[in-house]
Chains A and B, each alone.
Chain A
């Protein structure tokens, strides 16, 4: 081995260590940023190491790729609004997976004849996972951006069609593995993986996106790890595995928060139930006027805000913080209750509220805040629905039965901010809205909140 190669390997080792330290820093907001600087340093070192030690001769493609990528990446980092974070993350899963898949195709082009059976196996995994994650993430991003309709796209015999595609994909993989000289088998596998990614995500509704995002995160990481096996490169295996496991852990947490089994999710939307309208909740929804709502809030001593995806669509995070500060100025204790699957990706609500300068010490997780609802005067639900649906707790027949919820119905009174009388994404009726303690404040969440703030000032 030459000196340059030793140098390259040393940078890889350093990068691996720094990546692990970076993720350890993520255990607290205070240390997280410093940790990410370490990871950036590690990444830089590994790139320099590769350029020095990997016998690069053609620079034009590298310089072009690095420049274009940096420009687009920097543009995304600076200009993407926090409300668009789920779409951006889905897109980045697609990009990461595409890079892995393309490296796999490149390896196949160059080294197919000299590959051992083990390498071919890893290559198959890399290309399949990479390709299906690419198209799957693109569909997810399209749904989150609203380019594709958020409702599940389902048709008769979908399970059978998907199963056939999956089986053909795996058989072309096996065929390629046994006969590496047959090029068509490899490309059939690649094409089917692209199709399978689309089929996997279209039947899944927007409300299930936190699970899908985590799962795609995991697949993208595992594709990178498989690349590491193909290229015999340990830093790729380590970084890919860390990413893959992070996504896997998040998937498990999201599943628990929705009371769905991991197998249900691993098979994507295969078992997705079309929500049937179980309207055992009847009665009238009582509307409340802005002034009455402001009065309730102003004279409360404990208020809990419960944000949901509606907060993100209305971009109401700043408005809610302004209202909260006014209330705090009047001596009201204000807390925020965050359900793990509120929004469209893990941690979505926390990021939005942090953007609006809400201190993280007033954000409470479900287990912490639930015991406090009985002593809460007013719970304000902002564009959240299923995560506060008492049917999940009380009605064993409900399709969300067993899903842990924020028990806002135990608060003394509840104000629900909602765009209209519709049922929201899951199509489920929410008995919370008909409870005697609940009142509804219709309208765009952002304008409702800023009007509430004005009204509170005049109380």
Chain B
């Protein structure tokens, strides 16, 4: 890694940290569990690193196998994480319109 790239990466890291602090401090305690599973799903982006390991040119077989395991676990996080976050968030909205009998009946 040449110094210019390192400096750029540190910039990205610092700005992302700052942005993360700003954005996440606004999340109400009500949504802390969905927040945790959402950020978890998002950090499943390490899937893209795993994909390269599992299938790119000039990589030995053992790397491909490690990549395969990593792709599997990262995909579990992405699919499971987004799925379950959505399931939770739907629950928070279920009874929003207080006077919607049809929706209430379905929810029950």
Question: Nearest-CB distance from B105 to chain A (Å)?
Answer: 11
Q: Across the interface, do A23 and B84 meet the contact criterion of CB distance under 8 Å?
A: no
Could you say which residues of chain B place their CB within 8 Å of the CB of A22?
Answer: 38, 42
B12 in complex: contacting residue of A54, A237, A365, CB < 8 Å: A237
Question: Nearest-CB distance from B88 to chain A (Å)?
Answer: 6
Could you say which residues of chain B place their CB within 8 Å of the CB of A360?
Answer: 30, 92
Q: Across the interface, do B32 and A347 meet the contact criterion of CB distance under 8 Å?
A: yes
Question: Is residue A453 contacting chain B, with contact meaning CB distance below 8 A?
Answer: no
Q: Across the interface, do B82 and A92 meet the contact criterion of CB distance under 8 Å?
A: no
How far is A140 from B41 in the complex, measured between Cα atoms in Å? 19
With A72-B80, A224-B43 already in contact, the answer to whether A347 and B34 are too (CB < 8 A) is yes
Q: Across the interface, do B51 and A110 meet the contact criterion of CB distance under 8 Å?
A: no
With A27-B28, A246-B35 already in contact, the answer to whether A55 and B40 are too (CB < 8 A) is no
With A64-B68, A65-B69, A103-B46 already in contact, the answer to whether A250 and B32 are too (CB < 8 A) is yes
Q: Across the interface, do A61 and B65 meet the contact criterion of CB distance under 8 Å?
A: yes
The B19-33 residues at the A interface (CB cut-off 8 A) are 19-21, 23-33
B-contact 0/1 string along A103-120, CB 8 Å cutoff? 101110110000010110
Q: Across the interface, do A77 and B39 meet the contact criterion of CB distance under 8 Å?
A: no
B73 in complex: contacting residue of A69, A74, A249, CB < 8 Å: A69
- Kindly report which residue of chain A lies nearest to residue B33, judged by CB atoms: A347
Q: Across the interface, do B93 and A65 meet the contact criterion of CB distance under 8 Å?
A: no
With an 8 Å Cβ cutoff, the count of chain A residues facing the other chain is 112
Q: Across the interface, do A36 and B45 meet the contact criterion of CB distance under 8 Å?
A: no
Q: Across the interface, do A26 and B67 meet the contact criterion of CB distance under 8 Å?
A: no
A50 in complex: contacting residue of B38, B51, B78, CB < 8 Å: B51
Q: Across the interface, do A62 and B79 meet the contact criterion of CB distance under 8 Å?
A: no
A65 in complex: contacting residue of B21, B24, B45, B71, CB < 8 Å: B71
Question: Is residue B102 contacting chain A, with contact meaning CB distance below 8 A?
Answer: no
Q: Across the interface, do A98 and B48 meet the contact criterion of CB distance under 8 Å?
A: no
B43 in complex: contacting residue of A55, A106, A220, A253, CB < 8 Å: A220
How far is A65 from B34 in the complex, measured between Cα atoms in Å? 26
Q: Across the interface, do A232 and B9 meet the contact criterion of CB distance under 8 Å?
A: yes
Could you say which residues of chain A place their CB within 8 Å of the CB of B81?
Answer: 73, 92
Could you say which residues of chain B place their CB within 8 Å of the CB of A238?
Answer: 12, 16
Q: Across the interface, do A77 and B83 meet the contact criterion of CB distance under 8 Å?
A: yes
How far is A77 from B5 in the complex, measured between Cα atoms in Å? 38
With A92-B40, A119-B1, A234-B12 already in contact, the answer to whether A241 and B50 are too (CB < 8 A) is no
Q: Across the interface, do A99 and B70 meet the contact criterion of CB distance under 8 Å?
A: yes
With A39-B41, A57-B55, A88-B84 already in contact, the answer to whether A345 and B33 are too (CB < 8 A) is yes
- Kindly report which residue of chain A lies nearest to residue B49, judged by CB atoms: A103
Q: Across the interface, do A77 and B80 meet the contact criterion of CB distance under 8 Å?
A: yes
Could you say which residues of chain A place their CB within 8 Å of the CB of B76?
Answer: 69, 72-73, 76, 92, 95
A interface residues (Cβ-Cβ under 8 A, vs B): 12, 15, 19-20, 22-24, 26-30, 32-33, 36, 39-40, 43, 46-47, 49-51, 54-59, 61-62, 64-66, 68-70, 72-78, 80, 82, 85, 88-89, 92-93, 95-96, 98-100, 102-103, 105-107, 109-110, 116, 118-119, 213-214, 217, 220-221, 224-225, 227-229, 231-247, 249-250, 253, 338, 340, 345-348, 350-351, 354-355, 357-360, 363, 365
Q: A61-B71, A347-B36 are in contact. List 8 more A-B contacts (CB 8 A).
A: A29-B31, A32-B89, A43-B78, A65-B70, A85-B33, A98-B73, A99-B77, A243-B42
- Give the top 4 A-B pairs by smallest Cβ distance, nearest first: A77-B83, A69-B75, A65-B71, A73-B79
